[in-house]
Structure 1
């Protein structure tokens, strides 16, 4: 009865650690393409989890500990591959040797290395994840039975192995079910975060993200006393594109338009779609003359770019741009949007496909 309680305690500790891990890394699931830092920290966490399971493990003989350390080790190798699995193996085995150097500790080393090799091979199988984990757990149990039978003299061997098989399969399948559920929740959470800040059609910042970026940039500009430039871009006669080719073609043009804008500006510039065919670009620490150069480059890039309206037909479109710079052309940073918007409408009234700045407006008013 005591063995059953000990195994159950080990299983509950493992599931609690799993929840803690996914709460800490809820913004990014571990995958093959994860960063080096992410893989190393995940491997280290799995190693610590395995070590904690050892501390609360079941002593069945002199210097012999049985526990569920292979489950977090299995999961981190399954999701992350060689590097996190290797880090986890190293941490677990270092901690195991601190409990004492004996036949059991060397048996643990043989077992965990054989499991690591098997996990790396099994993770490549193109089968459902839960089935893959079940096969990996069967392999783990077989290796555990072989190692304990050959290398360790413990009694009652049959009872210990039977309980280990049952607990390993139950806790392992519970762990993968919990892990897959939490990974799915984390993925959805990330998608919801993106959808709240990213325009679904173009992949650019949406209105909400734009407002936050503009307010932050204005605060930084006022505090650091650095120039802040702003562009509003509106596609000329876009209604004609929708009327001629349909809204599906119009959406395709908007997608390509967003890509063209992103390629036409610097990496640090903030490009947003503010709705319909209106886009904005926020240029931090940029003087008005430099902004005009960038705006003209954007305008000419759009004019020269062929846009695919259908699979068979490409079209050429143009855009009008209104620009403003604080403090070069507007006296208050809060007026950036409204002044650039006025300049945009002036560009349209002058014939479209041009850049108009608030500086030109002030000169016209003066005249």
Structure 2
């Protein structure tokens, strides 16, 4: 029997690894959308079915397996909906696979009501390890009651129940730490995925993501002949801010400016931090006149905004902006970025705190 439990646990670990690959972009948590919760419940239901299929057969109708663990995991990490779906799927499969009997009916009912019993407890208890302990105790107690009723002979009852509870507790303990490892792995993956596209300080698109979005929009504009404008902007004398107040307060200025740009552009505009104090705004379906209007609005907004530093000091900053627009100002879309950069430097040479369109 112990050998069969080892096989069951190996299958469970393999299934968990696959499951975390499927949900690596979201992780397993009760805040998942309803569609993903249903998907999660079905996956853990299938996991439980596999464990039932490879169960240890005690009598013609009585089997021992680790089906409680997929249900426990579904309840703990997905909430009530995945738990009840997994329980229902496993209970139905148990009856279909091994036939209807008193033991099958009792086992299926017990499996189905387990999420109902643990749901209130899991909602009140905040610490995950305590949920694992309490959940395991409740699950093992309910299953042990079934064994106590249907196994013949007191000696056999004690032996089977003791072995089942010992092995399931040990495997539950190992699975708990394995899931913690998987959670850390998928969290690191999601963080790396986000940081590969987002600027760590402002949360805006970084230079790599700007290039990817820009190139995609340019290709579409070539095909569809759609208008596009591009703003390159730079904080005037930003080095002086860093030298005077320090890089920590310089970061506050950058973050505040990033928020300001997001809230003063259109919803369809793409705002990025291209590096240092340099930012950009891609304006899809935007004429040169509208781009000039948006750029001026941004310039005035920054000029009139008070930037509050860490010690409460209030400073003012200004920005310079260069604009290039296709096709009404720039006929060759392949040099749109180059022209916006030239216009930005023209704005800085002309005295800063101004908007200069490319010609």
TM norm. shorter chain > 0.5? yes
Correspondence for 1:307: 307
Is residue 118–residue 136 contact of structure 1 (8 Å, CA) maintained in 2? no
Aligned-partner SS, 1:312: coil
Q: CA deviation at 1:54?
A: 1.1
Q: Residues 137, 310 of structure 1: CA spacing in aligned structure 2 closer, same or farther, 3 A cutoff?
A: closer
Correspondence for 2:29: 31
The residue correspondences of 1:205-216 to structure 2 (distance < 5 A) are: 205-216=205-216
Tell me how far apart the structure 1 counterparts of residues 119 and 297 of structure 2 sit (CA, whole Å): 51
Larger displacement relative to structure 2 (328-337 or 110-119)? 110-119
Tell me how far apart the structure 2 counterparts of residues 161 and 236 of structure 1 sit (CA, whole Å): 75
Q: CA deviation at 1:112?
A: 2.2
Larger displacement relative to structure 2 (103-112 or 331-340)? 103-112
* Structure 2 portions without partners, runs of 5+: none
The answer to whether the aligner puts 1:176 opposite 2:167 as a matched pair is no
Correspondence for 2:43: 45
Correspondence for 1:141: 140
Tell me how far apart the structure 2 counterparts of residues 35 and 114 of structure 1 sit (CA, whole Å): 24
Q: CA deviation at 1:131?
A: 4.7
Tell me how far apart the structure 1 counterparts of residues 120 and 316 of structure 2 sit (CA, whole Å): 53
Q: CA deviation at 1:181?
A: 0.6
CA deviation digits over 1:126-168, x for unaligned, max 9?
43x3454233223322221123223x24563233222211221
Larger displacement relative to structure 2 (231-240 or 87-96)? 87-96
Q: CA deviation at 1:74?
A: 0.6
Correspondence for 1:109: 108
Tell me how far apart the structure 1 counterparts of residues 313 and 18 of structure 2 sit (CA, whole Å): 54
Correspondence for 1:203: 203
The answer to whether the aligner puts 1:162 opposite 2:146 as a matched pair is no
Correspondence for 1:80: 78
Larger displacement relative to structure 2 (194-203 or 116-125)? 116-125
Q: CA deviation at 1:246?
A: 2.2
The residue correspondences of 1:1-367 to structure 2 (distance < 5 A) are: 3-99=1-97, 100-123=99-122, 124-127=124-127, 129-150=128-149, 152-154=150-152, 156-358=156-358, 362=359
Is residue 264–residue 298 contact of structure 1 (8 Å, CA) maintained in 2? yes
Tell me how far apart the structure 2 counterparts of residues 310 and 153 of structure 1 sit (CA, whole Å): 70
* Structure 1 portions without partners, runs of 5+: 363-367
Q: CA deviation at 1:115?
A: 2.6
TM-score (norm. length: structure 1): 0.90
Aligned-partner SS, 1:273: strand
Q: CA deviation at 1:206?
A: 1.2
Q: Residues 67, 251 of structure 1: CA spacing in aligned structure 2 closer, same or farther, 3 A cutoff?
A: same
Larger displacement relative to structure 2 (162-171 or 113-122)? 113-122
CA deviation digits over 1:221-279, x for unaligned, max 9?
22222222111011122223223322211111111000001111123321111111110
Tell me how far apart the structure 1 counterparts of residues 243 and 263 of structure 2 sit (CA, whole Å): 28
Aligned-partner SS, 1:93: helix
Tell me how far apart the structure 2 counterparts of residues 195 and 154 of structure 1 sit (CA, whole Å): 60
Tell me how far apart the structure 2 counterparts of residues 308 and 315 of structure 1 sit (CA, whole Å): 7
Is residue 130–residue 177 contact of structure 1 (8 Å, CA) maintained in 2? no
Is residue 27–residue 190 contact of structure 1 (8 Å, CA) maintained in 2? yes
Is residue 320–residue 347 contact of structure 1 (8 Å, CA) maintained in 2? yes
Tell me how far apart the structure 2 counterparts of residues 305 and 32 of structure 1 sit (CA, whole Å): 41
Q: What is the CA RMSD across the aligned residues, in angstroms?
A: 2.0
Is residue 92–residue 108 contact of structure 2 (8 Å, CA) maintained in 1? no
Aligned-partner SS, 1:43: helix
Larger displacement relative to structure 2 (308-317 or 341-350)? 308-317
- Aligned pair count reads 355
Aligned-partner SS, 2:322: strand
